[in-house]
A = this chain, B = another copy of it.
Amino acid sequence: METPHTHDLDAVATTAGNGAKPEDPGAQACRDEVDRLIEAWHRERPDLDVAPLEVLSRVSRLARHLDRARRTAFAEHDLEPWEFDVLSALRRAGAPYQLTPSKLLTQTLVTSGTMTNRIDRLAAKDLVKRLPDPGDRRGVLVQLSDTGRKRVDGAFEGLLAQERDLLGSISMADREALAGLLRTLVLPFDN
């Protein structure tokens, strides 16, 4: 999806990118898809400042690539991304690895119907178990099984290895700067 951003005041559209400028300080030599996207919009709508796309389109596109990469990484542990989402929430909760469906759906941002379905399928694979919630007969507790814990731990280690690899081209200092700026952008949403 395209998240365009540019401001146009004239020729600003190419400011941050290494777009058409021939000088290119000492930076990477290559244009990415977003550079092309922005160039196309700038050609078609020279009246608009599409600078915001420089940041936000890249966030969206990178996230999509990360989704695919994670799917591959998890596949080596026979887990789908949605399975990791649920199991990792339980894992992070700590022993005895129990959460209510309600807690799980707020953490995974899916609807209750979806979560019921997911728990059913995870239970069928013996990765979680459904227990009655003592103290609230409406509710249930979803508990990570022993095999579930091992699978999610392995998948998480694989994920970290992959992510470390993806970040390899960026210095420690830049990673921290990046993390800080991203936090600033996320905060208004996270409350």
Identify the A interface with B (CB < 8 A): 1-12, 15-18, 27-28, 30, 32-35, 37, 40-41, 43-45, 48-56, 58-67, 70, 81-82, 84-85, 88-89, 91-94, 107-110, 153, 156-157, 159-160, 163-164, 166-167, 169-170, 174-190
Contact = CB atoms under 8 A, between A and B. Distances in A.
Interface SS of chain A: helix, strand, loop or mixed? helix
Given A27-B180, A170-B184, A186-B62, A16 B56 contact: no
A52 B167 contact: yes
B108 A6 contact: yes
A81 B7 contact: yes
A186 B34 contact: yes
A81 B6 contact: yes
Which 9 residue pairs of A and B lie closest in terms of their CB atoms, listed nearest first?
A63-B63, A52-B163, A16-B176, A58-B182, A16-B179, A54-B179, A40-B92, A65-B189, A32-B190
